[in-house]
Amino acid sequence: MKSVLPVAKDLVLIGGGHSHVTVLKAFGMKPMAGLRITLISPTVLTPYSGMLPGYIAGHYREDETNIDLGPLCQFAGVRLIRSRAVGLDLESNKVLCHDRPPVAFDLLSINAGSTPDTRKVEGAAEHSVTVKPIDRFIAYLETLEAHLQQSTGHFTIGVVGAGAAGVELILALKQRFETFRTSSGAPRVQLHLLDRAAEILAQNNRQVRRRAHQTLVDADIKLHLGHPVARVAPTHVEFDGRSNLELDSIIWATDAMAPQWLADTGLALDNRGFVQVSAELRSVSHPNVFAAGDTAAIRGYNVPRAGVYAVREGPPLAENLRRAASGAPLITYKPQQDFLRLISTGKRSAIAARGHLVAQGPWAWRYKDWIDQRFMKAFNVLPPMPVPEPPALAQGLADATTATLMQSLTMQCRGCGAKVGQTVLSSVLQNLYLDRPETPRERPTLWDDAASFAVPAGKLLVQSVDVLTAIVDDPYLFGRIAALHALGDIYAMGAKPLSALAIATLPPSNTSKAEELLFQLMSGSVHEFDQAGATVIGGHTGEAGDVSLGFTVNGLADAGRLLAKGGLQPGDQLVLCKPLGTGVLFAAEMRLVAKGSWIDEAISSMCHSNARAASILAECGATACTDVTGFGLLGHLGEMLRASSTSAELRLSAIPALPGVFECFGSDIESSGAPKNMQAAKSFGLEVASVQASQRGLLFDPQTCGGLLAGIPAASARQCVDALQQAGYDAAAVIGEVKDQATPFSIV
């Protein structure tokens, strides 16, 4: 979250569709000073529609058909918020999200895709499977194949919708099930294609329809055309004026449906619920809102909801967002009237058509594959991140807001300690705690000079402090991570969190931008402190180039039950609660080589609180405990062994690692803190010369929000690991044994 210049405007993108990935690449290639861009997407993988039939048919792997938004956002300097938009507050200019506070914007662009419309037919939503979202559809196919392996009878599937999507889908399914039948001995699947239209591919010419029709007939796909589906039941569909068609499974691939949350936004929509935009791709009702792809309906044009249009809308959308941010006149987008249509036919063959020219064969599929692979390479193989020269940085938002911010940055003195305005933190905390029922405990007014509270008799006050530079660009998520990281030491000591004081630095900006950023940070933090039963009672804020956040955390522990590092006993089993690898994964992300799914797994692990793990370890008689964070596994273990006057034997294969970690080590990537941790381990006498280099990095990798490491009596170790895994710490494992001091430290 490094900010070279003050933030003057916020551009928020909803959805990682085909138009928006082009926008991300465009701003990555040519950054715009003063403009902060945020992408809101529930997933980091965007399936490319052109390759989905090939993926379903088995011609491509999943990773070959997805654009990874994680590296793309990192390349573009874009904040990635992993969440789902559920609405808009257009009076306050905020995006409402499913599981986090609203996100403020000055400019907004929507490219959230669409799903097949199941609203018009009774029972369709309840008893059919839609082809989108694709990950859910693939999970359905895998479940179906598992069922087919156990089945001996005939199986029938109906696909409703005979447009291009439906035709490509059913031919891909034919290829998939035939391949599966050959390899597994599963029964034959009979496929049926249904549509209210009298012919397939209604938007294509007669030659295309004729060739596709013959291909379907040759594939033994039964056609039911010209008869609308009136009702869908679990085992059949009912036609208008005809008898039922018995089906074991029903797939819906009809016309697209807009995201339903758009209906309540106040945006001007067409009669099907899509955002009405002008030829500039700007909302006809709200000039600071843009839309493209399947989400948009362009006035004056009847644009098919095809991926080729979404792709071609990307460049003019990117240009107009840049122009809107700087106040320049917008350009006009004119959709092409015709384009090369390439319709996959299941096997490695396709129908190619443009105008009146139509052809079919394997060569058409190979040409389509070349086009698709070239498109994917543009987003998954990224050039080095651009570093603008200082003169170029000034060519950003040419308005009075930016000029004022630049002047304040240039003229800022440091005599004030670079503090953020006095009222910002107190205002944010007041808003967060406003109108709540009683907070976990009585707290002082936010205007007091310091906090005070009484320590009950028989209790010990436990204190710790931790500060992190932003490891993720989403400020709400980073707030959660910073809080959980700071709480780790309290849980490791066996204490119950009581209160926290925040320490935050923010990039230079005006008061409203600073307050919005701090609100996001503190919202995430307060969420985690609430879960822990603690209250944020104040803190300190300052200005710096990077966003950082930390906390001084106070907790209470029973005097006789305090856990320390120095209690290990020979024979104790060393139990680690979480997998390792956050350090190297985020180092790989900075180099644009970490898969988004790897970072998702790391974030999920970091956001798993150690609170329940601490309770389980205590219940199982933990003799000593620490949290594995910045010093890495061997650094923290070395502290425990020295404090306990013991040694240890580690089982290398038992140490859990996050997905992608060994791929990163194999590419000679390591965190900048790893070499220091290796030197520190040597000072504890922990030699690892016998360990292969590709595995050695795991022992020294610095962690953020790492798991607890504890010594557990041997008799309780298995029960302890079982309890941890049942509580959601899936990777919890016994990774070694404590030995007496006379035994040399070893790794086996």
Residues that are catalytic = 416
Nearest CA to 472 among 605, 612, 611, 658?
A: 605
Identity at 394, one-letter amino acid code: A
Alpha helices in 327-465 (DSSP H): 362-380, 390-393, 400-411, 422-433
Q: Where are the alpha helices (DSSP H) in 219-261?
A: none
Q: Is 361 left (phi over 0), alpha (psi -120 to 50) or beta?
A: left
Sign of CA dihedral 285, 290, 296, 297: positive
Residue listed under structure tokens 């294969």: 653
d(CA 223, CA 200): 9
Cα separation of 504 and 541, whole Å? 5
- Of 211, 244, 249, the closest CA to residue 230 belongs to 244
Could you give the CA distance from residue 257 to residue 255 in angstroms, rounded to a whole number? 7
Phi-psi region of 534 (alpha: psi -120 to 50; beta: other; left: phi over 0): beta
Integer Cα distance of 206 and 208 in angstroms: 5
Residue type, 21: V
Q: Residue ranges of the alpha helices (H) in 185-234? A: 206-218
In this structure, are residues 267 and 285 in contact, taking their beta carbons and an 8 Å threshold? yes
Per-residue tokens: 638: 């070395």
332-339, long-range: CB < 8 A, 24+ apart: 332/279, 332/280, 333/279, 333/280, 333/281, 333/298, 334/279, 335/298, 335/301, 335/303, 335/309, 336/312, 339/308
- Which residues, in sequence order, are CB contacts of 356 under 8 Å at separation 6+? 205, 207
Q: Quick one: residue 300, left, alpha or beta (phi over 0 = left, psi -120 to 50 = alpha)?
A: left
Structure tokens at 589: 């992300």
Type of residue found at 253? A
In sequence order, what are the residues at sequence separation of 6 or more whose Cβ sits closer than 8 angstroms to the Cβ of residue 11?
35, 36, 37, 38, 105, 106, 107, 108, 109, 321, 325
Cα-Cα-Cα-Cα torsion 63, 68, 72, 78, nearest 10 degrees, comes to -170
Spatial CB neighbours of 54, under 8 Å, sequence gap ≥ 6: 60, 65, 172, 344, 369, 372
Q: Which helix or strand (DSSP H or E) is residue 250 part of?
A: strand 249-252
Contact 737, 648 (CB under 8 A): yes
> Do strands 35-41 and 79-82 pair parallel, antiparallel, or not at all (unpaired)?
parallel
Angle at 439 between CA 438 and CA 441, to 5 degrees: 105
Q: Distance between CA 283 and CA 301 in Å, rounded? A: 15
Give the span between the Cα atoms of 233 and 228, in whole angstroms: 15
Provide the 10 A C-beta neighbour count for residue 210.
15
Taking Cα atoms as reference points, which of 35, 73, 39, 36 lies closest to residue 594? 73
Contact predicate 274/305, CB 8 Å: no
User: What are the residues facing 193 on neighbouring strands?
Assistant: 159, 223
